[in-house]
Structure 1
């Protein structure tokens, strides 16, 4: 996690509207600010609430409800991420708005465990306040700016989705509430692909979303760190209340190595190269929408589900493996790997065979999982994920050697054709 860097020099657009981030001539506006890191603390709590909720309701219904709530948490954070990409978090007006979002977000996170119960309307109302309130602010301050129409379109559709969230919160039956909230999520998921089209206001193009690609990449990397931090927290908190014996320590070590492997897969090489790719793209809005806004969802979900599995295995390393434990132990890593494969596909334009093989291997473990103990199941899934991380390391090193060899060969050829054999 890097410290913020000094601001780039002002451009004409930013100077005309001080609430906008100051960017250099190449469109980049510096690193994540300390206030953005402070803002993320609310979502550390939210991710913790989600994993605990799934653990307490480990069923198909519980998984579906947790997924719905995760989507709300993700969209609340992600739309704010886009906002702080354009607007300066250190400007007093923007900072006050973000404080309001933090207050509503903290209350929203507190109501997550009972969102499908007595606190449904509170959860929906606080989420609506975040989405509509934040967008209303930016639509107002950009009403005479070139970005104004874009935020007016976003405000229109988020208001529609928020109405569905609130109506769902007022419905008593959990099934009907879930249907209404799924409809709200469908609106939020669909409209970005159609440019937030609104009759009379037109349609946004991804080229209109002149984001700072490096900032977008770093913000999403930090959310992955938040999710992995929850996994590490669960690992330490669970072992702290258990006997320190060989089975529990082995389960603890396996869970921790699994978290390290997930970090390695995402951060060792892909994250930096993907950040460079979006920063240098002539259409960073497209990659920001596809690779970061959408393709990070299964990765974050996979980390949360995997944290639930870690807690279950550490708490009960011996004995019977339940269907729920198999689902989270294999489903978490599979979700993460699938999400990472899609992310690489969008950014780099290809799938890697290793990720397909990894998902097949996890499926093979699932075929025999019922005969294993929780500890051996945990070992097996960690081994599969660690193998992918090691394969990535070797593939990256091989690619570097090939690149260096090609560069050396090109230099040698250049020297060979230079008159008198001297360097050109």
Structure 2
């Protein structure tokens, strides 16, 4: 949660040190919307059940390791997003350098990968919308070479919005599920398999 303050701080400082133009204002709004979507995706269900997951498994150390790695990946994504926000606010229009595309799209992809790992630690499954969102961000990379940085950032925000909407729809359709951390499968293929969300 503290890491989510980084893109907000960078966005505010970057916007405040330049001209107040329509394109920079739009880039700032996209940056703030992206941060709000990250927060929404992060808090959805799994975080509230982490303690339950640790008590529901005979190997809580494995959950601790997965949780730590997942948060390192999410924080790396958030820091990358902050760098991308700064680039987009400073240069919202014009040519998008290939390295900028990688920064702008890889931040959200890293965040979704980390969040999917965190969900696996708690529920023993990977959320399909998170996996599809990360894959969509990777797949979009070649197509973004001809659009301005603001359009690249907007595309990333729309994919994050799709993940957040999928979370909300799942919450309405299904009751809250209990924590069910991953179970080590035996050679005979036994073990618990979570619902493929």
Instruction: Give the TM-score band, short-chain normalised.
Output: 0.7 to 0.9
Query: How far apart, in 2, do the equivalents of 1:401 and 1:342 lie?
Result: 19
* Equivalence for 2:64: 288
What is the deviation of 1:297? Answer: 1.5
* Equivalence for 2:53: 277
Query: How far apart, in 2, do the equivalents of 1:247 and 1:391 lie?
Result: 30
Query: How far apart, in 1, do the equivalents of 2:32 and 2:146 lie?
Result: 24
* Equivalence for 1:230: 6
What is the deviation of 1:323? Answer: 1.4
Contact 2:104/2:153 (CA < 8 Å) preserved in 1? yes
Query: How far apart, in 1, do the equivalents of 2:124 and 2:177 lie?
Result: 20
Counterpart check, 1:302 vs 2:100: no
> How big is each residue's C-alpha offset from its partner over 1:14-59, in whole Å with a ceiling of 9 and x where there is no partner?
xxxxxxxxxxxxxxxxxxxxxxxxxxxxxxxxxxxxxxxxxxxxxx
Superposed counterparts of 1:136-285, under 5 Å: 225-285=1-61
Match of 1:346 among 121, 124, 130: 121
Query: How far apart, in 2, do the equivalents of 1:314 and 1:279 lie?
Result: 45
* Equivalence for 2:96: 321
Match of 1:378 among 153, 157, 174: 153
Query: How far apart, in 1, do the equivalents of 2:12 and 2:51 lie?
Result: 31
Query: How far apart, in 2, do the equivalents of 1:390 and 1:274 lie?
Result: 23
Q: Which runs of 5+ in 1 are unaligned?
A: 1-224, 404-424
Q: CA RMSD in A?
A: 1.9
SS in 1 for 2:174: helix
Query: How far apart, in 2, do the equivalents of 1:316 and 1:297 lie?
Result: 29
Query: How far apart, in 1, do the equivalents of 2:176 and 2:43 lie?
Result: 20
Distance of aligned partners of 1:270 and 1:401 in 2 relative to their CA distance in 1, 3 Å threshold: closer
For normalisation by structure 2, the TM-score amounts to 0.84
Query: How far apart, in 2, do the equivalents of 1:402 and 1:326 lie?
Result: 37
**Larger radius of gyration between Structure 1 and Structure 2:** 1
Contact 2:74/2:110 (CA < 8 Å) preserved in 1? yes
Query: How far apart, in 2, do the equivalents of 1:260 and 1:275 lie?
Result: 25
What is the deviation of 1:293? Answer: 2.0
Counterpart check, 1:393 vs 2:184: no
Query: Larger relative CO (CA 8 A, sep 6+): 1 or 2?
Result: 2
Superposed counterparts of 1:47-126, under 5 Å: none
Aligned pairs, number: 178
